[in-house]
Amino acid sequence: MKRSLLSSILALLAAPAALLAQNTVVVTANVTANTTWTRTNTYLLETKIYVTNGATLTIEPGTVIKGRPKANPVDATALVIARGAKINAQGTATTPIIFTAESDLLNGNLTQSERGLWGGVVILGRARLNTASGQGNVEGIPTTEPLGTYGGTDDDDNSGVFRYVQIRHSGAIVAANVELNGLTMGGVGRGTTIEYVDVYAGNDDGYEWFGGTVNSKYLISSYNDDDNFDWDEGFRGKGQFWFAVGASDKGNQAMEMDGGTSPEDGQPYALPELYNITLIGSGATSTNTSSFGLLFRDNTGGKISNMILHDYRGYAVRIETESAQTQDSAKRLAAGDLAIGNSIFGSFGAGTGNTQMFTAPNATSGGAAPATNYTVEHLTASAQANRINTDPLLTGISRTRNKGLDPRPAAGSPALSGARTPPADGFFNVTNYIGAFSSANWAKGWSAISSLGYLTDADAASPDQPVVSGSTTKLFALSNRLTLAANGTFFGGFVLDGTQSKTVLIRAVGPGLAGVGIPTGFLADPVLSLRQGGNEIASNDDWSGQQIVDLTRTAGSFPLTAGSRDAVLVRTLAPGAYTTIVTGKGGAGEVIFEVYEIK
């Protein structure tokens, strides 16, 4: 047992009353009927809690769920959504849902080294696997437990919604070399929504998919002890905007990708498709000799574009062949089922040579070595448009709580050009940059790395936006002066009617009201988000830049004081309807939301 887990158990036994708030609800029985967990309670999992019998568990924004530690590893606490049941956990950008350990006081008392204090979250569905039986018992759940079964024939299966969620200090060891992941997905179908999730300080993988087709966006794996992202058994989902950052002393693969287990050439093949991911390791010169990049094996395919892979102690990419198997990942590469393109490979402790960074081993004991290093041939081919030994020039990398982590590209970063346009298939967002971030920091506010002080508070100065003059498109604006409650949210919007693009100036003014005769009672720190069709286009917390000063004057609005914590966006937009979200950090106060057209 790890020292951190033992000390946490002893602390709980010594002073349980100090850790159990008056409104704590101890959950001891499975959820077998539609149930809602509210933010006015803290829910303490006493054992593995299964949502079953076709029930839906709804969890309100801001709700905290804690797992009690167990002396017997097999009894590790977890929340398991069984096949046929659903989870409806929809946090918000300002009020995320938090899963964590019982000893987490939510004030930063636990460090990133305190891992494995409880199990994790498991979602099981009826989508296809490529195992011989087409179903299985998920890792970390006793094989004698029928509610741990996953898999089926419905790739469109819907296990619910899991959005704006933190999962902290998970990964309890349940047996030798068997741990629960932060978020485990077994046979989850593409009808399920998974987005805006941060798995922080886990003892195993951040995320693991066992088969299935679920798509996901805005995933964070932060300071976990094993792999950030791991798939097995024919996973075929899509992903965009994945971000990982490793601890300086822990972590294994950036991504560990397995195609099949029994048999390895089972159908359907693992062929996921990923765009816009940023993966940061323990440090190219760190002491963590287990810090590696991407591992493809056991006949997995997969296509990855617009990736930043940087700062790992070992190799960058390893694609295995299996001389004892009829199919392997090298054959998926040759068939075009495995590809990595339009990506940036930064610094690696293995060295700067192609054969040091990119390996092509035979994983079968005693088998012949590959005739050529097909991994090098693929990644260095001009058609793949990869850039190797190239510093991605990220704004800041930090593994401590100094608010120095800022994974957005800095001015002049190579990530701002050379991207591949994602397919217009209804899932992928159209992007023109490499990595998980552009100027907007979608991890800010709701994630564990943000609330615990790793992530920067400041928005980088926005680059000047192109301004369209003389457009005939008309702006029909919604402008409001309102009072937001503490941590409140206001939804506004506007319509651009016409056929040409239009440049707009959007402001959420709180502190700036002091300059127009409202010296007190204003919202101290508004945050502004611009969206269309559910997708965030841009966001701003604290405005900066001469362009905003100039366009404010052009629009005829009152000026803002340099350094004020008002939020401002300048964007040139196509005709259509847009939604704006204004949120306030901290206390309540007045705010003006306004949109100006730039003529």
Measured CA to CA, the distance from residue 1 to residue 71 in angstroms comes to 9
Which whole number is the average pLDDT over 300-326? 96
Tell whether the torsion through CA atoms of 238, 242, 246 and 250 is positive or negative.
negative
pLDDT for the residue numbered 475: 64
**Of the ranges 242-246, 493-497, 588-592, which is most confident?**
242-246
Is the predicted pLDDT of residue 9 greater than 50, yes or no?
Answer: no
Dihedral angle of Cα 30, 25, 584, 564, to the nearest 10 degrees? -120
Residue 265, class by beta-carbon neighbours within 10 Å (0-12 exposed, 13-18 middle, 19+ buried)? Answer: middle
Give the integer Cα–Cα distance in Å for 315 and 330. 17
Q: Are 184 and 219 in contact (CB under 8 A)?
A: no
Q: Across residues 519-542, what is the average pLDDT?
A: 84
pLDDT digits (tens, 9 = 90+) for 99-135: 999 999 999 999 999 999 999 999 999 999 999 999 9
For residue 353, pLDDT over 90 is answered with yes
Are residues 590 and 550 in contact, defined by beta-carbon separation less than 8 angstroms? no
Of 158, 139, 137, which Cα lies nearest the Cα of 149?
137
Within 8 A by CB and 6+ apart from 577, the residues are 493, 494, 495, 496, 532
Confidence of residue 13 (pLDDT cuts 50, 70, 90): very low
CA dist 280 and 282 (Å) reads: 7
Instruction: List, for residues 381-392, the tens digit of each pLDDT value.
Output: 999 999 999 999
Structure tokens at 126: 């009826």
Q: Return the pLDDT at 467.
A: 73
Nearest to 201 by CA among 399, 475, 492, 51: 399
Lookup: tokens for 515: 């300059």
Cα distance between the two ends of the chain: 66
**Residue 521 token pair:** 């009672």
Instruction: Give the span between the Cα atoms of 204 and 229, in whole angstroms.
Output: 10
Measured distance CA(115)–CA(98) in Å, rounded: 16
Q: Under 8 Å CB-to-CB from 205, ≥6 apart: which residues?
A: 171, 181, 182, 221, 224, 226, 227, 228, 229, 230, 256
pLDDT in tens, 154-213: 999 999 999 999 999 999 988 766 789 999 999 999 999 999 999 999 999 999 999 999
* Backbone phi, psi, residue 147, to 5°: -75, -5
Q: Which two tokens stand for residue 230?
A: 């791991």
* Residues 434-480: tens digit of each pLDDT: 999 998 899 999 999 999 999 998 664 455 667 767 777 766 556 68
pLDDT of residue 545: 83
Domain definitions of the chain by residue range: 1-213, 227-460, 474-597
Please report, for residues 250, 542, 544, 567, 574, the alpha-carbon distance to residue 560 in angstroms, rounded to integers and kept in the order given: 45, 11, 10, 10, 27
The one-character DSSP state at 534 is: T
Asked if residue 16 has pLDDT above 60, the reply is no
The number of beta carbons lying within 10 Å of the beta carbon of residue 358 is: 27
pLDDT at 21 over 80: no
The pLDDT value given to residue 458: 63
| The pLDDT value given to residue 491 | 85
- pLDDT attached to residue 527: 87
Residue 232 has pLDDT above 90, yes or no: yes
- DSSP annotation string for 434-453: SSS-SSS-TTTTTSHHHHTT
Total residue length of the chain: 599
DSSP string for residues in 103-138: T--SSS-S-TT---SS--EEEE------SSSS-EE-
Listed range (13-22, 332-341, 483-492, 540-549) with the worst mean pLDDT? 13-22
Give me the residue label for tokens 């803002």: 560
Helix (H) or strand (E) holding 4: helix 3-14
CB atoms within 10 A of CB 84: 16
- The reported pTM is 0.77
- Biggest CA pair distance of the chain: 81
Rg of the Cα trace of the chain?
24
Pick the CATH number of 474-597 from 2.170.190.11, 3.40.630.10, 3.40.50.2300, 2.60.120.380: 2.60.120.380
Token duo for residue 96: 């995320």
Q: What average pLDDT does the segment 273-302 reach? A: 97
185 CB-side CA count, 13 A: 33
Q: What band does 5 get if pLDDT is binned at 50, 70 and 90?
A: very low
Q: Which amino acid is residue 32, in one-letter code?
A: T
**Phi–psi pair at 552, nearest 5 degrees:** -60, -40
Q: Are 67 and 110 in contact (CB under 8 A)?
A: no
Q: How would residue 542 be classed by pLDDT, with cut points 50, 70 and 90?
A: confident
The pLDDT, as a whole number, for residue 544 is: 83
Categorize the per-residue pLDDT at 543 as very low, low, confident or very high, splitting at 50, 70 and 90: confident
Which tokens hold the place of 341? Answer: 């393109």
> Residue 80 is which amino acid?
V
